[in-house]
Homo-oligomer: A and B are copies of this chain.
Amino acid sequence: MGRRNITLTIEYCGIAYCGWQIQSNAPTVQSEMERALSELCGEEIRVTGCSRTDTGVHALEFVLNFYTSSTIPSERFPAAVNSFLPPDIVVRSAREVPEGFHARFDAKYKTYRYFFDIAPCPSAFLSGRVWSVKMPLPGKDPDRDIERSLEELNSAAACFVGTRDFSAFRAEGSNVRSTVRTVTDAKVFLVDSCVLFSSGASDRPLLCFEVRGNGFLYNMVRIMAGTLLDVYKGKLLPSEIPDIIRSKDRTRAGMTAPPDGLYLCKVEYDD
């Protein structure tokens, strides 16, 4: 049996990690994965991730691949690798893929979610997991307010859809060949946080920004989230966003939202 190419779908809570990519002297998800897989397979394993996530960013679905000469059946990998991993990194599934499959180059679309907690009082259970903006909706009719806010936020998010030069939404210091990316979907909706974290499920709705695209520039989703917060606060009109994009001027977009609220949710491949 030759070397097999195995792909794993993992999830991780990024609070304890300096992001995905391996670094010397800092805990990263990649180094944990390589250590666990090397121990399990009895050989030095190097993994290729679908993406680099920053310090504190989370993943509900992150795809990686690696080559191994071990004979462990692929369906056995999740439970076996999990026994070597800390509890904040979990392998959900594994399968054997063709030799040429590459988790990063072959990824066609990625979907991210960014969660804002708008409650006036932050939750003791959501620290590091959402962006607590402590900005409840103003006014006397919270239902109507939230509806109007959602409408505005969705008008703003819709401006991100399309094939555009997103230089205005790219962090300084990053260096890529092209700053053009295609965003296929962008929307904002409310989610119940969790019956675990509140006396009633709908006590504490969270605002969620979901965006799908063929790729994202450095900090692009977090800058979009910071810009949406300006819309939520009434500091920016949705109609100003196309002009901000056209300007290619980073200083005109909103702040870079903290990593806490960002989750890589889905990675799509052809097949």
Instruction: Write the residues of chain A forming the contact surface with B, with a CB cutoff of 8 angstroms.
Output: 11-13, 58, 60-61, 78-79, 82, 87-92, 115, 121-125, 127-130, 191-199, 201, 206, 208, 263, 265-266
Contact = CB atoms under 8 A, between A and B. Distances in A.
Contacts of A92: 121
A221 to B, nearest CB: 16
At the interface, is chain A mostly helix, strand, loop or mixed?
Answer: mixed
A110 to B, nearest CB: 14
A82 B13 contact: no
Given A87-B127, A88-B127, A127-B87, A121 B82 contact: yes
Contacts of A13: 124-125, 127
17 contacts: A12-B124, A13-B124, A13-B125, A60-B199, A79-B121, A82-B121, A82-B122, A87-B128, A90-B123, A91-B121, A92-B121, A191-B196, A191-B201, A193-B194, A194-B194, A195-B208, A196-B263
Contacts of A115: 196
Closest 10 CB pairs of A and B: A194-B194, A87-B127, A90-B124, A191-B195, A11-B124, A13-B124, A12-B124, A13-B125, A88-B124, A88-B127
A196 B195 contact: no
Q: Count this chain's copies in the assembly.
A: 2
A197 B194 contact: yes
B123 A11 contact: yes
A60 B125 CA distance: 9
A117 B13 CA distance: 17
A8 B132 CA distance: 22
A122 B79 CA distance: 10
A154 to B, nearest CB: 18
B199 A61 contact: yes
Contacts of A125: 11, 13, 58, 88, 129
A60 B197 contact: yes
